[in-house]
């Protein structure tokens, strides 16, 4: 067993030499070294290499200017729906539809909204060709306090319009014209 000599005592009253068990200390040291070695391998993998090349290597390829797609923004307000077609930050078209719900038992339907969305898509929709596999984008802007049954009625109106789309196996399938996403405020 190891011991530690701490020097002579003061005044000779008692001995200050004591034996300290060094085995637990060595065990702790070995575990700490093992832990550091194991974690050091993972730290190098999570590192992101970066350099200070500003503005970067020259690009010899000509840049292709792409125009952003038109997106339908459907704002659900208290007494009306506002349909806004935007291409980037530019407003292409804007229309308002009064909020007249037709109640069928427990379901709410907005027939006028579905007709107006179909008309607007015929004029401004970008993916109307059957060979086009993409769908147009519709962003629904709704208040967080909007009743769920009204929201379902709006979603039914958006998905009411269908178009033909060629499938990989050669068949033609009717698909909704819009891919919908939410913007809740």
DSSP per residue, 113-164: HHHHHHHHHHHH-S--STT----EEEEEEE-TT--HHHHHHHHHHHTT-EEE
Dump pLDDT digits (tens) for 36-79. Answer: 888 776 655 555 555 555 555 566 666 677 788 888 888 888 88
For the whole model, what pTM was predicted? Answer: 0.62
Domains defined along the chain, listed by start: 70-184 (3.30.420)
Tell me the two tokens of residue 142: 């709704």
If you average pLDDT over every residue of the chain, what do you get?
79
SS3 track for 29-58: HHHHHHHHHHHHHHHHHCCCCCCCCCCCCC
DSSP-derived secondary structure letter, 4: B
* Tokens found for residue 31: 């575990």
89 pLDDT tier (thresholds 50, 70, 90) = confident
């Amino acid at each position: 067993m190891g011991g530690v000599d701490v020097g002579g005592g003061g005044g000779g009253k008692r001995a200050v030499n004591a034996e300290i068990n060094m085995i637990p200390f060595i065990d702790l040291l070995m575990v700490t070294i093992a832990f550091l070695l194991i974690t050091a391998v993972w730290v190098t993998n999570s590192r992101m290499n970066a350099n200070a090349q500003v503005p970067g290597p020259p690009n010899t390829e000509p840049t292709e200017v792409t125009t952003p797609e038109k997106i339908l923004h459907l704002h659900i307000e208290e007494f009306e729906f506002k349909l806004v077609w935007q291409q980037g930050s530019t407003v292409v078209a804007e229309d308002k539809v009064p909020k007249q719900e037709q109640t069928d038992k427990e379901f709410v339907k907005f027939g006028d909204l579905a007709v107006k969305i179909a008309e607007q898509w015929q004029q401004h929709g970008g993916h109307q060709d059957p060979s086009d596999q993409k769908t147009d984008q519709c962003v629904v802007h709704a208040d967080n306090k909007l009743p769920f049954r009204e929201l379902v009625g709006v979603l039914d109106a958006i998905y009411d319009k269908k178009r033909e789309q060629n499938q990989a196996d050669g068949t033609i399938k009717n698909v909704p014209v819009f891919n919908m996403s939410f913007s809740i405020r």
